[in-house]
Each structure stands twice: as C-alpha cells, then as structure tokens.
Structure 1
Amino acid sequence: MVVGHDGQSDISDRSFPPEHQRKKSHFSIATNKKANGENGSEASGAKHHGAQHTIKEMKVTRKWKPRSRLGQFLGRNGETSLNHDILDVTIKNKNEEKHRCSLSSVISELSDDGIKQQETIEYEDFPEESEEIIENRGTEQNRRNSQGSQLSIWSKTFEANKKDEMKKKWLQYLRESIFQNKVRKRRHMNKVDKLFKWIKSIQRLDPRYQILRYFDEVARKGGALENPLAAQAATFDLMRGFMKASAFTVWRPTSREAICKMMKGEVTGKGLDVKGKSAKKGILSSMVPYLQIHNNDHKKKVLRPPKCARVRVYFKSIEARSFSEKELTANLKEMTEAYTHAREILSGKKSHVEGEREKAMENYVNEVDDPHIYHLDDSGIGLDIPERVFFETYITRQDLRRSPDFTTGRPSIPEFQDMNCATTRKYSGSGPRAVVLQTSTDSSAGLCPQGLIIAYEDGGSVVPVASDFDCFTVGTRGVAYDSPMAKEQVELMKWLVQKIKKILKHPASDQSWTSQWLKVMTESYNEGFSPVVPQYGFGDPKSYEIMEGAANRFRYYDKNGAVRHGAECFNYVFPQELDEWFLVISDTLPGNVPWVYVGVEELKNMLLEKIDDDFCFPINPKWILADSGWKKLWDKMLASTCENTVISMETWYPKESGIRELIEDVHSECPNGYAAAERDKSSGTYKQSGRSAMILAQERLRRHVIMRRVKLKIRVALMFGKLGGAVLRAKDAEEKKKVLERQFQGQFRKSKVNDMLSKTADTSYGYPMMPVAYFLVWLVSMLFLAQIMFSDDRNI
C-alpha cells in the first residue's frame, strides 16, 4: 500500500473537530492487490482498474506525547499544539479484509493531555468503488481527483457522526476539568485564606476567646450550669442577633507574653495562694520568680521559716537533682550538729567558754522536726526538703544579685519573698500544690537561686505559673440573679461601707487607698475581726456557681488556669485600687471585635451604654463611694425598669437590709470620694498596681499578726517567770498574796479579767484560794495563746 504524497501520508483535517482543524492536505490511499498472479504496482499517473469493494469500517488509533511539561500544561488550556508521533488508519472492506497504513509526524491542536486514545467509527455500506486507487503525485488534477475518492466519502460520513462523538468527548473533558480545578484549588490555595484559617485555629487557644465562649454559654443557659466542663458549639452569628441572653466580662489584664505561653501550654495561671510578682523581662518573663529580693542586705528582713515547714523542689534533670541533694545533705548535717551543740550549752549539760552562749542562741534556730531529704518521682524529678535547710542553702549562703539574663524589672521587696515562702509552705490538701522549680538545666547551676520559679504540681505534672486573669465584674442580659445572698455577707458589706466612711471623713492626702485600708484592717483584727473568705470569694449563689464553673473549666478542660478565683466586685474584705487599663470581653462590642482594652473613663462610658441595653452587673461599694464617676452607674442601674435588673439589684443590695440608704448617706457626706496620690513610700517612685498594693498590704497585716502573737508569747512567759520567782521569794502567806495582787494588776491592767483575778487574790479568801489563782492565770493565758496561734492567716 502506498499512501500520501512527497513520501508522507496525510489525512484530512475533517476527521477532527472543526475547532482543531489545521490547513487542508490532499491524500489518497492505494491498495496493492495480487490477482491472477500479477503484482499490483504503484506508478505516477496510473488509472483505476480492478475489482470493486465496499468500505465498511475505518479504525483510527492516535498515540502522542507532549513536547514538554510546559506544553502539556498549556495544551490542556488549548493554547498550543501537541506532537503526535503515530497515527494508524485501518480500513475494513465488505469481505472483512483489512488494510492498514501508518502516518507519522501529524500535528493537531487537541486539548487532551497525552493519554492514549482510540476511536472506532462504524459506517454504512457505501456504493461500490474501484478496488485500487492510485494517486498521481505532483499534479493538481490528481489532487483534485483524490478529494473525490473514497476518503472524501469517509470524511462526509464522519461529519455526520462527529457531533455525537464531540458531545462525549467534551463531557469527559468537562468532568476532568472540574476535578482538576478542585485539585488545583487545594494545591494552590490563596495564601490569605491559609493565613486566615491558621489564625482562626490559633484563636481557639487564646484564653480571652475561651472566656468569651464560656460566659456566652452561661448567658444562654440563664446562669444555670448543669455541666461547667461541657464545651458547647459556638452560636452562629445570624442566630446570635435573635438571642436576648448575652454576657460581657471586665478583667484586670495580664501580659501578652503570659497569654502567649498559656496558648502554647508552657505556663498556667496562678491562684490567690501565689502572691509573688511575675517578671517583666528577662528569661523568666511572665513567670513568678521564687526569689523576690536581689539585695543581699534584705536577707535579714525575711522571716525565718518555722522548724516544721517543708518545701518541694523540682529539677530539669537527674544530674541537677543529685548535685543539689549533695549540697543540701551536707548543710543539713552541719545545721543538725550546730543545733545539738547549742542545745547542750543552753541546757547546761555542756560547759562553755565566754561568748559561746550567744553563738549557741544563733544556732538554736537551726532545729528542724524531720531532718531528712526525700526523693519525689511521681510528678517529676524532685526533692522534699526541710524549709530551713532550703532557705540556708539557696538564700542565706548565696549571692542574690541578678545577672542581666535574670533581671526581672521588679524592685527588691522582702515582703513578697515572705509571701513566696508562705505559698510553698502551705497546702490545703486539695487543688494544685505550689512548689519550686529550678529552670537551670546545667547540673552545676542547680544551686542558682535566680533560676528558681513558682510552679503548680497538679495531675502528675509540674507547670510554671504566670499571671492569671483577675475578674473585675460580670455583666449579663436576660439572666436573673434571684437567689438571695447570705445575711452574713450583707452584714459584711455594711461593715465595709462604714469603714469606708471612716476613711473618707479623715483622708490622708499623702497616702494611697491601700495604706489607709491597711490601718483599718489592723485595727479591726486587733478587735477580733477575722472573716472567713470562701474559695471563690463572696457573692450570691448563682454568681459563685458561675465563677466556680469558670475555675473548673479552665483547670480541667482548657487546662491553662486562666481563671482561678472570684470577681473583684464581691471583694468586701480588702477592696483594691483601680488599675489604669481593663480588658472587656464580649460578643456585643462595637466593630464586631471579641475583646478590647480600655481605660477607666472609657470603661465607665461603656458600662453606661450596657445599662441602656438591659445589662446588669454588681458594683463594689468602694467604687461607688471612693472612686469618681461610679455613683452615676449606681443610680442608673437602680432606676432601670428592666425586670432582670430589678431582681438582680434586690439580690445584691436588699432594700430591707438598709444597705442602699447607707450608701446614699455616706456619699452625701463625702461626695468627692478618695482622691489621694498613688505612690508607695516603701519603694520610692515605684508605683504599685491596685492588686499589687493590696497583696503587699495583706502581707504587712500578716506580719503584724505574727509579731503580735510572738509578743504575747513572750509576755506570758515573762509573767509566769516573774510570778513564780516572786512567790518563791516571799517569806509568808501574807506576802505571797500581796505579790500575786501586784502581778495581776500589772500584767492584766485594763483587762476584763482584772477584777476577777484581783478578787481571787484578795486576802479575805485566805491562802487555800492560791491554787485557784494559779489555775485561772494558766487558763486565761492558754485561751489567749489558742486564739492567736491557731488563727488562719489565709483569712486575713
């Protein structure tokens, strides 16, 4: 078979869809036939002769490869041609005889992507034609004759069927294009969309976002939390507009670095038991250093730990623990020997030279109840150490000056060091336990006091603590606080208003509010005032339940401890000064933002707008009377006609208790509030925030209680010593009676028991009453000691 012209085989472009046709080419197909022993031959200008056949089927097989990967990509979009290597044409006649010709280097513009494709086309029977078709190359007439040959008939037949084939072809192409577009969108997603989705995923870890979700759930449930730990799905924005119940919260903000570390799970929020200040900068930034002093002269100003106290210390490696344990054990042995020697000298069992007695008095404080060091392996690599040994090893014998890496941006305050020591010393038996964590990984740096931080041991792990979110107040809409407050709390609120009145009548222009309130608390404690503060603060039952649920939610579910205690609006024992900035979290803020940082004036304006929107929130009496601008909020909320607001205000400030009238009377007498300069004399120009000043004042009050207790012990001991010595030196019974009378009058002057003791020692009762006098003195002394020694310092 000889096909084509110029040594090439051609086929009409009409066999392809019209949009892919190239320029026309002329061709013909000739079949060689052996008949009667004669060989068919190809010659230029030969005529048609021989038997006639009917062409029944034409089968076309195309194989091709794209020229390049770029060409493959562009070819899918119909922008360039593809190089087809082979094209086979098979012709089948009526007698089932097949004839095949090969065509090469055929170029066609197709949108397919280099896939092997085969087309089979069935044709109707055609009129009989001559068996052999021979093309005469090189003449225009032969080319015109070829166009009228059988192949032209095939082309016409193909035109009749190409529409159906094109439909199938383009449907398949459309399906492939849709799939490829989906894959392409997934692979080449817009970077902005990716960034937005990433930010949304990170936002769910933000404690501020988690606070928003929790209090929205509270509002939707009407403040009734059946399961505080249950995570509810977020409400759609469209549905939120139709819901009346809503909430907003105001917080004393923590640092952004602390928030970032909470999101990464590196730290957890601290509770009210941790009162040390967090570092502002350095490698310990946002965490609470155990060492709150960096001046070596302040070592003597820190209270020495009691002999029964113990502390837990955790390390990063076993090597660091072993190195520290070796030094602690050596110091423990040395301190134990010094105490034993001092006890023998002071008891008179051992002779001593002049000057050793004073040294023995100093070493006597090295006594510890349990002189052993234990390993801790349940929650980490730790040691259980007597606190006196720990204090001697890490503070007394070390240089406390900070290097640039361990700078904290905080002043050296011994009171805060005492608070850290008390934090790690006490454990209530429930909740997370405050421990000490050594952040230095080098074993030789295990004794570095600057690397110690406060951490929580909870749930089999030890996590450093950072500043938490201090709730200022909680506002709700559509929630009624209908459970009445306890009468004791209402009376405590009235006591608060009366003490505020006392301060406002005699203000000190050169002292802060915290300093003034510290004096009030000191006087009240000396009078026997010591209220017990619940774990999550005061408040009505529903408010207490909300804050308890928040603390449990952030401890067990969100696991970052962002909320640990109750709101400041119910702080009736030690109200704080206002900070400069507050964090407001709500889904009803302008601009559709979830939270915003505002100043005091902006906060008050925002709260006024919330009252217009039927929100209600509790207000601390201290804000109303001592801080300017809050009385306007109080009056507007009392005048509100919203049903839920009226019910809630009656719960928080009952009319029958007289608290509302008392607030109005104090404000009418002192309308200007307390406008004192905010400065802390103890630290120069360093200005304490409201919470920091309150914590510092509480520590000073605790020190006052401790010193008062120590003085009473010494006083009672001296009284018994003088009394016993004077009685023994008396020569007769009459003189002993006079001695007792003088001692009673001197030691219990201005006391309620003075008259009773004087009558007991009166001579009219006779000598047999002397043992009764001794017993009464002992009994009264024990009662005083019990009141002081067993008082709970946490309630101060």
Structure 2
Amino acid sequence: MPARLLWETYVIRKDIGHDAGGFGDTGRASEPSLMDLNLKAVTDTSATPPSVIWQYDTMRPLNPRGLLMAHEEDQMRPVASDMDCLLLGSKNARYTPMETNQIVQIEWMLDRIEEIETPRYGFGDPTTNGIFEAAVKALRSSGAVRHGAECFNFHFPQELDTEFLVCWAGFQKAPMFNKVPWMYVNLEGLLNFLSARIDLGYAVPLNPKWVLCDQGWWILYRKLITSRNRWTREACNAWLPSWSGLRERLEQLHERYPRGFVPNEGSIIGGAVDQWLDPDLAEYNLERFRVLQRAKKKLRAIFVMLTLIRGQRAKRRLNKVVNAVRSLRRTNMLRDAVAKERLERGLLDVKTDAN
C-alpha cells in the first residue's frame, strides 16, 4: 500500500485522538517525529528484522488507534522496548582483541577525526558481539535484545540512565535478594557493584565517554587497567590495546579535564538545560535540516532566475519604449521638415504672385 494512501485513509479521514483512560491511552503524549520515524522504518526494506504495521483491532480494520509497529520474524509480534545492555562483565574469560578499524573509531570518538560504518550488532570485540548475536536469536520470540552493549557505542554514546538492572548469578546465593539473579540499582550503586566485582577478578568494558565525562568512571577505569588479575589485564588489552595509544590519549584528556564534563553555567543564558539526546531523533532532525537547506537553495535559485527573467523582460520593455520615443522623434522631425518645406513653398508662391 502506498504511504500516502495509508496516511489519507487512517490519519486524514479518521479521528486519531485518544480519550483519557480509554482504549489505546498509554499515558504518553504523541511525538510526531517518532511517528515519522515509524513510517520511515516501515519503508526501509534493508532493515533486519523488517518492520511492518499490525492492526490490533480485529473487529475494526480501519481503526487508526489500533495500528501498532511490529517485527516480521518467525512470528508477528508488536514492537516493545528492548533491554539496552550497558556492559557485560566476565571473570577468567579470554577476549579476542578488537579490530583495528574499531580502534580508529575510538580515536574518532576522542578527537573527532576518523569514522567508520556501524556493524550490525554495534561495535565491540568479536567475543562480546558473538554473545549478543546469540542472545538476539535466543530472545527472538520476545525481542528483548536487539543490539549490542552501550559500552561499545562509540558513534553516538547516550547519556547514562538513573536506574539500572544488574543481572548476576551471585545474587541467588544471598538470601537478602530473594534468590533472584537480578537487582535494580542507581548510578552510585552500579559503580560500587562493578568496583566490588573487579576486586573479585571480573573484567568490564567501559565506554571512553563515561571514563572522560561522567563522575566516578575514571576511578573504575584505573582500577581495571592496574588490576593484578591476569585475565582482567588481558581483557583490557583486548578492548584498549597497548599499541593503539588510546590509553595515553585518555590520560592526556583526563589531565586537561579532571572533573569530566562540567557545563559552564556562566556562558549559558538562563542556565544549563539537562536534555536527553536520542540518536534516532538526532539523525531525523539532521535529515530534516538538510532537506530544508536543499529547499532553501532551490528557492534561492528560482528567485535568482525569476529576477533575471524579470530583468530581461524589463529591459526588453525599456528598449521598446526607447525605440518608440526615437521613432516618435523621427516622425516629429520629418513632420516639421515637411511643414517647413510647405511653408517655404507657400511663401515663394506669394512672392511670385506679388511680382
């Protein structure tokens, strides 16, 4: 179905409003830009898994409030928020070193020079990527995992959340956690948990953005790279190879900015604004900006062409007026000459008769 026909049928000619507390009311305000992104995802044939539109209301097929985004896999299931993995820690595990092109991407992240394409499951060492690829396949029925860990997001690192879900088998051994292998913690609790795990020989990959910009992560980073555990040192060497110069670069930047990212309140009119940055919305706004700039350039070109055309037309009209004036002048001059000649002839005839 053409997108314009779908839009006309379900949106333009229908009431898409939700009654508070009624059918389809999720309590969240509609975001037009996210709706545009959903339509764009449906038309993207290269996406894996492909996105489709699914009608939840089987009794009213043309009900616009029953339309849901879904993934077309082994089964058709509505799209729900997946679990964004922050990092994956391990103990006594051997990691394959990261590829050279991803080292370059980390360098770009630090000094904004290099850039490469994003792999299917995000950046990361081959071992971790293999774990997430298996997790995506194993959890395909629910769609809980769709991509790799945020610690390897070197292209558009997002801001840290305020609450984290920590999954660890050790929780089951402590009766205070009700024998469940997971626990919700805040940022301080997460840092304390990771620090304690490093003391036990665990290795956790850290995003350079956290290390340089966010409070508390630099101490965790130093604890990792100075660990006496052989497996931890080998894992760190796989994520930040000693030959790459990334550790030296991190040290230099930390010396220049020991407090991390601190907004300058005095340079911002009205004070600093804490705003969540979404990579999809950022790319969407960037594309809209580019389209707007292209439209402005075309309008400027059309305006210049119209100005030139109007100038040529005005010039032609002016030439016609000038030519008409010149013609009129020539006509008047000719008329004056004829009248003068006639006058002279009349005077000559009068003189002849007088004689």
Tell me if both proteins adopt one fold, taking TM over 0.5 as the criterion: yes
Work out the CA distance in 2 between the residues paired with 1:675 and 1:687: 12
TM-score by length of 2: 0.75
Residue 585 to residue 453, structure 1, CA distance change in 2 (3 Å): same
Question: Could you tell me how far 1:718 is from its partner in structure 2?
Answer: 4.4
Of residues 439, 463, 476, the one that matches 2:77 is 463
Higher strand share: 1
1:415 aligns with 2:33: yes
Q: Using the alignment, how far apart are the partners of 2:307 and 2:116 within structure 1?
A: 36
Deviations 1:721-758 (A, max 9, x none): 589979x99xxxxxxxxxxxxxxxxxxxxxxxxxxxxx
Distance 1:435 1:717 in 2: 39
What is the distance in 1 between the residues matched to 2:186 and 2:127? 29
1:443-472 alpha-carbon deviations (Å, 9 max, x no partner): 3xx33222211112223x421121111111
Retained in 1: the 8 A contact 2:105–2:115?
no
Aligned residue runs from structure 1 range 717-736, under 5 A: 718=302
Moved over 6 A (4+): 722-726
Partner of 2:94, secondary structure, is coil
Verify the 8 A CA contact 2:203 2:232 in the aligned structure 1.
yes
Question: How is 1:307-386 mapped onto 2 (pairs within 5 angstroms)?
Answer: 385-386=1-2
TM-score, normalization by structure 1: 0.35
- Quote the Cα distance in structure 2 between the aligned partners of 1:687 and 1:451: 34
Q: Distance in 1 between matches of 2:17 and 2:110?
A: 45
1:435 aligns with 2:52: yes
Distance change >3 Å, CA 451–CA 687, structure 1 → 2:
farther
Q: Which digits, 9 at most, give the CA deviation of each residue in 1:413-468, with x for residues without a partner?
A: 22111111111111216x4321111222333xx33222211112223x42112111
User: What is aligned with 2:232?
Assistant: 645
Which whole-Å CA distance do the structure 2 matches of 1:696 and 1:428 have between them?
Answer: 20
Tell me the SS of whatever aligns to 2:87.
strand
Alignment match, 2:7: 391
Choose the corresponding residue for 1:616, options 203, 218, 223. 203
Match of residue 117, structure 2, among 497, 517, 532 = 532
1:704 aligns with 2:319: no
Partner of 1:569: 151
Q: Helix, strand or coil: the match of 1:610?
A: helix
Q: Which residue of 2 aligns with 1:451?
A: 66
Post-superposition CA distance 1:694-742 (Å, at most 9, x none): 4433322232233345455x2796499589979x99xxxxxxxxxxxxx
Is this contact kept in 1: 2:104–2:115, CA < 8 A?
A: no
Gap change, CA 1:411 and 1:687, over 3 Å in 2: farther
Question: 163, 170, 191: which one pairs with 1:581?
Answer: 163
User: Hey, what does 1:667 align to over in structure 2?
Assistant: 254
SS of the equivalent of 1:701 reads: helix
Aligned partner letter, 2:167: I
Q: 1:553 to 1:535 in 2, by over 3 A?
A: same
User: Cα 1:401–1:675, aligned 2, differ >3 Å: closer, same or farther?
Assistant: farther
| Distance of 1:530 and 1:659 partners within structure 2 | 16
Q: What percentage of aligned pairs have identical amino acids?
A: 38
The CA distance in 2 between the partners of 1:458 and 1:716, in whole Å, is 47
**1:153-210 C-alpha deviation (Å, 9 max, x unpaired):** xxxxxxxxxxxxxxxxxxxxxxxxxxxxxxxxxxxxxxxxxxxxxxxxxxxxxxxxxx
Aligned partner letter, 2:45: Y
How many angstroms apart in 2 are the aligned matches of 1:687 and 1:409?
Answer: 23
> Gapped runs of 5+ residues in structure 2?
265-272, 314-355
Hey, what's the Cα distance between the residues in 2 that align with 1:720 and 1:647? 64
Decide which of 474, 482, 485 is 2:88's aligned counterpart.
474
Which SS does the other structure have where 2:164 is aligned?
Answer: strand
Distance 1:425 1:387 in 2: 8
1:673, CA displacement in angstroms?
1.9
Structure 1 residue 639: deviation in Å? Answer: 0.5
Instruction: Pick closer, same or farther for the CA change 1:563–1:386 going to 2, 3 Å.
Output: same
2:111 matches 1:498: yes
Matching of residues 233-252 of structure 1 within 5 Å: none
Q: Secondary structure at the match of 1:470?
A: coil
Please tell me whether the aligned partners of residues 108 and 115 of structure 2 are also in contact (alpha carbons under 8 angstroms): no
Distance (Å, rounded) in 1 between the aligned partners of 2:115 and 2:110: 17
Aligned residue for 1:611, secondary structure, equals: helix
Aligned equivalents of 1:399 and 1:676: distance in 2?
44
| Local SS of the residue matching 1:437 | strand
Gaps spanning 5+ residues in structure 1: where?
1-384, 500-523, 678-685, 730-796
Q: Which amino acid aligns with 1:492?
A: Q
The alpha-carbon deviation at position 574 of structure 1 amounts to 0.7
Question: How far 1:553 sits from its partner (Å)?
Answer: 2.0
CA deviation vs aligned residue, 1:231-276 (integer Å, no higher than 9, x gap): xxxxxxxxxxxxxxxxxxxxxxxxxxxxxxxxxxxxxxxxxxxxxx
Q: What secondary structure does 1:472 align onto?
A: coil
Q: 1:719 to 1:638 in 2, by over 3 A?
A: farther
1:147-166 alignment runs, 5 A limit: none
Q: How far apart are 1:615 and its partner, in Å?
A: 0.4
Q: Distance in 2 between matches of 1:547 and 1:710?
A: 42
For residue 278 of structure 2, give the secondary structure of its aligned residue in structure 1: helix
Instruction: Provide Cα deviations, 1:319-369, integer angstroms capped at 9, x if missing partner.
Output: xxxxxxxxxxxxxxxxxxxxxxxxxxxxxxxxxxxxxxxxxxxxxxxxxxx
Distance 1:386 1:717 in 2: 32
Q: Distance in 2 between matches of 1:715 and 1:651?
A: 53
Q: Cα–Cα, structure 1 residues 653 and 605, in superposed 2: closer, same or farther, change >3 Å? A: same
**Residue by residue, what CA displacement relative to the aligned partner does 1:92-121 show, whole Å, maximum 9, x if unpaired?**
xxxxxxxxxxxxxxxxxxxxxxxxxxxxxx
**1:564 Cα deviation after fit:** 1.1
Q: Distance in 2 between matches of 1:660 and 1:539?
A: 17
**Residue deviations 1:634-675 (CA, integer Å, cap 9, x gap):** 000010011111111112112222111111111121122224
* Of 596-605 and 403-412, the range deviating more from structure 2: 403-412
SS of the residue 2:118 aligns to: coil
